Structures are given as structure tokens and as C-alpha cells.
Structure 1
Amino acid sequence: MNAALLYPFIIVAGCLQALGNSMNAQLRGCLVNPFLAAAISFLPIVFVFATLFLVMPTPLPGLDGLGRMPWYAPLGGLAGAVAVFGGLALVDKVGAGPFNGLTLTANILTSLALDALGLFGLQGSGFKPMPWLGGLLMAVGVIFIARVTPDKGPEAGEGAGAGAGAGEGADAGHGLNPKLLYPFIVVAGALQAIGVAWNAQLRTALTNPWLAALVSFLPVVFTFVLVFLLRPNPLPRREDVAGMRWWMPLAGLTGAVAVFAGLLFVDKVGAGAFNGLLITANLLTSVALDHFGWIGMKQVRAGPARLGGAALMVAGIALISLF
């Protein structure tokens, strides 16, 4: 099959991922505790994939496939969840713009490195300048899109004006220079890309895609439930829970479509093209959600910076996909 025929499905997965991110933000607002919100977001995913596996239990993995499975393959979901945790823990300290810009740029560049070097079972393509140029364009586009926030407008301009007074702004109240957190955010973005490759290996070993998705998400749910039991405060009040809409707990399911797409398609299209398409669709959908103020998002007009960033991302993914 021509890999390009899979692109529309990956784009849809990226759009749904953006919807899931916005829905998760609303869920976190209602449930107060981020670990409780994450656990509730991931639980329906496990239920759905467990049900699908029980309904369609074949094909089942053989002993040979299980024996060749790398030890890290079942941890692909956890690797991707590091970025979720990073968003919950760090986005209020560094700002949404820098956080998203760093994680997505690290994701794109790590994906290109995985393809070039053939790591984690991917077919090595060697160094090709055009895809890396596309990755650079996408990284610049991400920065242009992410630097505009609902509350502050262009963060880069404000940061330049703040100078030594930054302690009075974004990092006020926690006594920590936000830039010290940047290496951890970059690692989270790289792990997102690595998690996609690990999930592809898990799918190869387990044969059944529903079983592979279930095995990928189970450690994530276990981790968030355990952390919530260890740190149960703060708990939501009755009025907080009363404000929760029926669709909010389904946020994880919309995001799970992207994980499932990675299980099926990343070894066919390559990590660079897959993550590039996914991220481009994700960010363009996010720009639209902000522009129109859908799903409870604060309205942010798609001005020249965001539209220019979107154009750079489209040009970048074209270079990655065509070359």
C-alpha cells in the first residue's frame, strides 16, 4: 500500500488529539487534582480497548514474537505520558507557549533522528537534508504558534521586556527560574516520539492491535491511579464535579486515536512523517479551537504570527513527507 494513502487517517488522529487536549484541560478544571483527572481520562481507554480485544481476540501473539519483543516495548504509553505529566506539573511555571514549543520541537527532531538512524526497529533512511530542513521549518512554525497565549499575547516580546523582572511574572510564587525546567521539557518531547516507536514494536510483537493498545495504556492508568492514591489532595468539591460536562471524561479516548494510529502506521510511513503530520494537524486544529473559542477555550485570534507558523509547518511536513 502507498504510505501516502494513510496520511488522511493520521491527520484525523492529530485533529482528535487537539480536541482531546482541550477536553482534558476542561476536565482538569472540574476535578482540580491533575492526577485524578489523568486517571479518569485514561480509564475509558483501557475499558474500550479491553472490550475490543475480548470481542476480537484474534490474532493472538505467538511465543516467538513475544520472545523477540524488547523489554521496553510495553512502556511506550508511559513514555508518551511523561509529556502529559509535564503539562500538568510545569505548564503553569514556564507558560503554555514555551512548553508546547519545546515539547513539539523535540518531538519532531527526535522523530527525524529515529528515522535517520533506524532506531527501535524503524528502517534507517540515513541523513537526508530536505527532511531536516522540513523539521527546522516545523520547529520555527511551532515557536510562532506557541508564543501567542490567551492571557499574555506574544510571550517572546513580553519576555524580552521583562528581563530581570521575570521573577515578578511567570515564575512568581515558586522561586524557580523557569528556564531551569527547559531540559526536562525537551526530554518529555523526545520521549513522546520514542514512545510512538516503542508502540510500533509492541504492535509487531503482540500481533493483535487491540491487545497492543491495551498493554500500552495499562501502565499509564496504573501510574496515575497510584500517584493519586499517594497524593489525593486537593480533591474536587461537589460544585466542581457538578460543572463537569458529559464529554469531558472522553478526552483520553480522542487522544488514544493518535496512539492507535501510531501502532498501525508508524512503521509504514516513518516516525518523521507520522509525527510531523500528527503535530501539524494537532496545532492547526488548536489554532482553530483558539480562534473560534470552541470547547471552552479562551478566544485567541489567528493573527499573522499563528498563520505564518501554520504555513511553515505545512511546508515542513511537505519536505519531510516527499523526501
Structure 2
Amino acid sequence: MSIAALLYPFILVAGALQALGNAMNAQLRGHMVNPWLAATVSFLPIVFVFTTLFLVMPTPLPTLETLEKMPWYAPLGGLAGAVAVFGGLAFIDKVGAGPFNGLTLTANIITSLALDAFGLFGLQAAGFKPLPWLGGLLMAAGVVFIAKTAGKKDEGEGHGLSGKLLYPFILVAGALMAIGVVWNSQLRGALVNPWLAATVSFVPVVFAFALMFLLKPTPLPKRADLAGVRWWMPLAGITGAVAVFAGLLFVDKVGAGALNGLLITANLLTSVALDHFGWLGMRQVKAGPPRLLGAALMVGGIVLISVF
């Protein structure tokens, strides 16, 4: 068994936690009312945890040589991935966990295939391989079956818009997720210490969301809203950060396509389960034949991407 294959279980767990984090963020957003405040509360614990881990394990440290090789955009990987987190905060309860994660993950994997094929952002170019791209098409077909099962009563709640009008933003967020993984990997290579890299990746995210909250401080939650906050809701960011840390450590070992494919497998199946059982406060949407067929197509596509 290859070293890369030994990393697969951790990556699968990270993908499942990523889906749970999206649903937890939606609940946090509901009680915090202001999406910028919710995002700040979600990301602050991440910075605290990674900073503490860096202080406990401060070595190895980067050298001037490694820092000089760092691309200017590498510290922005956290911001790129945070777009999808904010999308989860604002939109997952409008389109459902299955469609939201299906759209973001399909855009994620197709972007990852392009990154691997063309060697973008410093990755080694693997060239065009038809079977992985066939897998990407299967995933796109799968998301159609999953998204079409979103209940009509979801559409327009709180936005005055059809949920489907949110799809382009969600697709862009998914593409940025894939790019953020590669940027985070380059940041980790330059800073050497993974805990320092994770801290540097998330600090700009907290700063950006806190700044937006200061610029748009209303609406604010009322006492009744805050009373409904459960202990696990502010942990949503930490839950999703496990996938970011997996990208920091493993994308250069398993490749962007395989890493995101494995994350997506666990994320998708967990998302469908969240909708089916109505866990974490999600509106219950039974996993009927179209949704199960969509999940099967996406898993089949992931197999083609990861294996070939």
C-alpha cells in the first residue's frame, strides 16, 4: 500500500467534518442574525486553536530561503476557502445541504482537475487524462439529480430570490475552495511549521470578516436569538478547518484531484444524510431515488478521478 493511500482515511474524515461544519454554520448564522458576526465567531476559535498549537510546537521554523520562494498569494488560501464557508453560513438553509455541497464540490473537483492537468500555481502538470475528466462529468450529472430534489418551499426564503439564482455564487465558491487548498499547501512549504502556516492562513480571514462586521454591524442578535445558540455551533469553523489542514499537509502527496475527490466523497454522503435525517436543524429532505442516483454518479466520478 502506498504512503498516499494510508492518508485516505484521515482525508475522508476531514470531508465528513467539512459537511457537518457547513450545517453547523447555517445554524450559527440563524442565531447570530448578522452573517459577518457569525463568520467572525466561527473563525475566531480556529485562530486560537492553531496559535496555541504553534506555541506548544514552535519548531521547525521557516528560513529566509523558504520565505523568499513563497508566492505572494500563498497567505490568501484561507480567504479563498472562506468564501465557501460564508456561502454555507448564508445559503445552505436556502438550497439544502445536498444541493449546496453538491454544487461547491463539483466546481471544486473540476477546478482541481484543471490545476493538476495544467500544473497551475506550482503543481506538477499531469496532462490531460480522459478518465478523471469523465469522472468530473459524472459528478456534474450527479449534482443535477441532487439539486433538482430541493424543495420549492426553500426558494426565496429570506432572500426574495429563487434558490437557483444562488447557484453561480456557490459554484465560484467551490472553485475557490480548490484553489485555496493549493495556496495553503504552498504556504505550508514556505513556513515549514504546519501550525504556523494554518495560523497565518486563517488570521486574514478573521480580520476580513471582523472588518465587514464593523462596517455592517446591523442587524444584531437579540437575547432570544443568543439563547438558542448551542455549545457546538461556534465550533463549526474548527470542524471545517480539519479539511483545510488536510490540504496543507497532503495535497502535494496525493494530488489536488485525489485529495479533493476523497474530501468530496465523504462530504457529499454526509450532506445527503444531513438532509435525509434532518440532523443539526436542517430541513428534512428524504433521499429518494433521484438523490441516491445523483450520489451514486458522484461517487462513481470520484472513483475515476482518484484511481486514474
TM-score when scaled to structure 1?
Answer: 0.88
Task: Measure the CA separation in 1 of the matches of 2:16 and 2:171.
Answer: 23
Task: Measure the CA separation in 1 of the matches of 2:277 and 2:157.
Answer: 29
Task: Measure the CA separation in 1 of the matches of 2:51 and 2:157.
Answer: 42
Indicate the SS of the match to 1:24.
helix
Specify the alignment match of 2:152 in structure 1.
152
The structural deviation recorded for 1:277 is 1.2
- 1:313/1:177 Cα in 2 relative to 1: closer, same or farther (>3 Å)? closer
Extract unaligned runs of 5+ from structure 2: none
Aligned residues: 306
- 1:185/1:295 Cα in 2 relative to 1: closer, same or farther (>3 Å)? closer
Give the aligned residue type for 2:7. Answer: L
Specify the alignment match of 1:13 in structure 2.
14
Give the aligned residue type for 1:193. Answer: A
Specify the alignment match of 1:36 in structure 2.
37
- 1:171/1:215 Cα in 2 relative to 1: closer, same or farther (>3 Å)? same
1:202 is aligned to 2:187: yes
Write out per-residue CA displacement over residues 9-59 of structure 1, whole angstroms, 9 at most, x where no aligned residue.
110000011111111111111111111111000000000000000000000
Query: What is the root-mean-square deviation of aligned Cα atoms in Å?
Result: 2.3
Task: Measure the CA separation in 1 of the matches of 2:56 and 2:149.
Answer: 45
The structural deviation recorded for 1:152 is 2.7
The structural deviation recorded for 1:84 is 2.7
Task: Measure the CA separation in 2 of the matches of 1:177 and 1:146.
Answer: 13
The structural deviation recorded for 1:173 is 7.0
* Larger-Rg structure: 1
Give the aligned residue type for 1:34. Answer: P
Specify the alignment match of 2:138 in structure 1.
137
Extract unaligned runs of 5+ from structure 1: 156-168
Conserved? CA contact 1:111–1:194, under 8 Å = yes
Q: Percent identity?
A: 78
Among candidates 236, 256, 266, match of residue 271 of structure 1:
256
Among candidates 218, 221, 226, match of residue 233 of structure 1:
218
Conserved? CA contact 1:108–1:139, under 8 Å = no
The structural deviation recorded for 1:2 is 2.4
Give the aligned residue type for 2:119. Answer: G
Task: Measure the CA separation in 1 of the matches of 2:231 and 2:27.
Answer: 11
The structural deviation recorded for 1:191 is 1.2
Among candidates 279, 297, 300, match of residue 312 of structure 1:
297
The structural deviation recorded for 1:98 is 6.1
Specify the alignment match of 1:165 in structure 2.
none
Conserved? CA contact 2:22–2:89, under 8 Å = no
Conserved? CA contact 1:141–1:313, under 8 Å = yes
Indicate the SS of the match to 2:251.
helix
Alignment of 1:293-312 (within 5 A): 293-312=278-297
Indicate the SS of the match to 2:134.
helix
Specify the alignment match of 2:266 in structure 1.
281
Conserved? CA contact 1:100–1:146, under 8 Å = no
The structural deviation recorded for 1:145 is 2.0
TM-score when scaled to structure 2?
Answer: 0.92
The structural deviation recorded for 1:87 is 4.3
Task: Measure the CA separation in 2 of the matches of 1:92 and 1:243.
Answer: 17
Task: Measure the CA separation in 2 of the matches of 1:2 and 1:143.
Answer: 35
